[in-house]
Amino acid sequence: MFLRIGIDLGGTKIELLALGNEGEVLLRRRCATPQGDYQGTLRAVGGLVEAAEQELGRRGTVGVGMPGAESAAGGRIKNANSTCLNGRPLRDDLQALLQREVRLANDANCFALSEAIDGAGKDTEVVFGVILGTGVGGGIVVGQRVLAGVNHIAGEWGHNPLPLPGEETLPPPRCYCGRSGCVETWLSGPGLGADHLRHGGEALGAEAICTRASAGDQACEQTLRRYERRLAKALAQVVNILDPGVIVLGGGLSNIERLYDAVPRLWAAAIFSDTIRTRLMRNVHGDSSGVRGAAWLWNDR
């Protein structure tokens, strides 16, 4: 039996998932991420892989999903919010530790790959995966293979400016990346809460805003309607450029059920086509999609 091992290198936890030939889950383990400790992070990954292979009695391939990306110039990690990874030769160090080839991909790419292989985008040629959570990310899969791009930034949708300004003509919010008005500043969970506050609401998280809107709170209802319009405009730009068959939502805000009706209805005004066959879908694998996608980085075997 072929063994695929996926590692999700998160900011608070490191998760391992082992998959068999047909994608069946054989084993799942996790440990806390050593905060700010690069060498400790390497040791934690090595320990998880060693223990899993001993338990399963065989050696596997290893794919790693991580925040950030490898630089096209030298392969060191860039743009990771787990800052101890930035500037480090993560692939080389893991390969030396594990004594085998290791494949790395951005965690949003891993999410998209998981959903393209046996999730919401199964049997679809082009899939765009979206993470709507504490941050906003995107990943592109074509023919069940991650599209990384020559600069290793394909799918970095969250750090484009929100298109077609309307009520957003006020000075746009600042983004941690140094720019202003990035999609992430409008469509992340914190961005949703900040927008509610800017429009005179109280300090609330995304879940509370949704709950209150469902109970008839008009201020929260208007906040969600602004969010839906912005998400529709931002995704319409993706459809116009990439023309995917499926857009899959992940992250905490993907659980807002009304998005799947409202956004396709609203994005039609900004999509340059007389027919729109792109489907907006909720993920199938939930929080497991990232680590599953890391394992499926070896889907050519």
pLDDT per residue as tens digits for the range 81-115: 788 999 999 999 999 999 999 999 999 999 999 99
CATH superfamily, region 4-111+288-298: ATPase, nucleotide binding domain (3.30.420.40)
Q: Name residues whose C-beta falls within 8 Å of residue 239's C-beta, 6 or more positions apart in sequence.
A: 247, 267, 271, 273, 276, 278
61-66 and 126-132 strand pairing: unpaired
Lowest mean pLDDT among 180-184, 258-262, 284-288, 297-301: 297-301
Q: What is the structure's pLDDT at 167? A: 59
Cα-Cα end-to-end distance for the chain? 12
List of E strands, the chain: 4-9, 13-19, 25-32, 61-66, 69-70, 77-78, 102-106, 126-132, 136-142, 145-146, 246-250, 279-282
Q: What is the structure's pLDDT at 163? A: 78
Same fold? 4-111+288-298, 122-283: yes
CA angle 10, 160, 250 (to 5 degrees): 40
47, 78 contact by CB (below 8 A):
no
- Examine the pLDDT at 168 and tell me if it is beyond 60: no
The stretch 154-177 carries a mean pLDDT of: 78
Domain over 122-283 is classified CATH 3.90.1150.10: no
The stretch 28-38 carries a mean pLDDT of: 94
- Report percent pLDDT > 90 for the chain: 78
- 266: number of CA atoms within 13 Å, CB side? 18
- What's this model's pTM, rounded to 2 decimal places? 0.91
Per-residue pLDDT tens for 126-152? 999 999 998 899 999 999 999 999 988
- Examine the pLDDT at 164 and tell me if it is beyond 80: no
Q: What is the structure's pLDDT at 47? A: 97
The stretch 203-213 carries a mean pLDDT of: 96
Q: What is the structure's pLDDT at 130? A: 96
Distance CA 215, CA 201 (A): 16
288, 1 contact by CB (below 8 A):
no
The stretch 159-170 carries a mean pLDDT of: 71
Name the average pLDDT for the chain: 93
* Residue 246: pLDDT band with limits 50, 70, 90: very high
- Examine the pLDDT at 5 and tell me if it is beyond 70: yes
Q: What is the structure's pLDDT at 18? A: 97
Domain-wise residue ranges, the chain: 4-111+288-298, 122-283
Tokens of 36: 């700010």
The larger pLDDT score, comparing residue 97 to residue 78, is at 97
Q: What is the structure's pLDDT at 170? A: 67
